[in-house]
Structure 1
Amino acid sequence: MVSNFVNSVKQRNILKGQFLQFIFVGSLNAIIDLGFLDISLWLYPTNDQTLLILFNTAAYILAIVNSYIWNSRLAFKGYAQKDVREKVFFLIQAGISLIISNLIFIAGIRFFTLCRFSLWFIQNISKVLAMISPSIASFLFMKYFVFKRLKAA
């Protein structure tokens, strides 16, 4: 009974530490993601949905590569195998998160356009919203699928 309690406390502390490290990596990802989008929109201002999705996707891919590098070395260091299975699962979660990101990004732009804010504000607030939900989904997917240690047979 005592050992179950001790293990439970250890698991919570590990989860809290991983989540804090994930937040740190996520902050770096947000800078890359939002930074690339803003640079793209500054160089090629547009409200064309196809270009916006293209810019968002490119920004997201840069951030997701950064995410894998840092999460495998920091937040999930003791769990990362860096094998084919892990990379495939990471790509699957990245693809799912990208779809979520693009849907929220475009929906946010459509919604905030009704409010008559500046185009820069609309695109940036939509991007921030498009980063939040996929980040939560990514943490859970990485924690329980991507960087999950396989039990020895």
Structure 2
Amino acid sequence: MGNHKKKKGPFQFMQFSVIGVANAAIDIGVLNLLLLFFHTDNQGLLLFYNTIAYTLAVANSYFWNASFTFRRSAEGSNWQRLTFIGQGIVSLGVNNFVFYIGNLLLGFIGIPNWLRYNIAKGLAMFLSFLASFFMIKYLVFRDFGAKKVKE
């Protein structure tokens, strides 16, 4: 039993990472489409675009992670949905904060807008991805039944 638990962690992280790549494509793709069609340098509007992109990626994340990565402990209960929304809001805060600060810092050193937005978005996605994984694993889809089996 101990070996199964050790394998589950890295395997779950691998599954979460594969889904994360799809989420990243949605996240950065939507941001770049919005910038292509509605270009702006306004920080408030950039955060709004980032929020739209991130929200679509999080919705995709919930569907795939509940269906595959954490399916053993995904109940689809109101509690899980609520905690998933809560972690999504916290992760969005991390994402927007890093995106905003990254844009400011990269702007000071003169990196062109499009490149600056995408570098800041990449940093934001990475840090919010890590925060999201641990919140989803240990709060949202925590396997409450695992403790009962051991006892």
Alignment of 1:11-50 (within 5 A): 11-50=5-44
Q: Distance in 1 between matches of 2:142 and 2:100?
A: 33
Query: Which 5+ residue runs of structure 1 have no aligned equivalent?
Result: 1-6
Hey, which bits of structure 1, 4+ residues long, moved more than 6 A?
none
Q: Distance in 1 between matches of 2:47 and 2:27?
A: 13
Deviation at 1:11, TM superposition (A): 1.1
Number of equivalenced pairs: 146
Deviation at 1:16, TM superposition (A): 0.9
SS of 2:143 mapped into structure 1? coil
Alignment of 1:27-106 (within 5 A): 27-106=21-100
Question: 2:128 corresponds to which letter in structure 1?
Answer: P
Identical columns (%): 34
Question: 2:130 corresponds to which letter in structure 1?
Answer: I
| 1:48-105, Cα deviation, whole Å (9 max, x unpaired) | 0110010000000000000000000111011100110000000000000000100000
TM-score (norm 1): 0.92
- Quote the residue 1:4 is aligned against: none
- Quote the residue 1:145 is aligned against: 139
TM-score (norm 2): 0.94
What RMSD over aligned residues (CA atoms) do the two structures have, in Å? 1.0
CA contact (8 A) 2:47 2:96 kept: yes
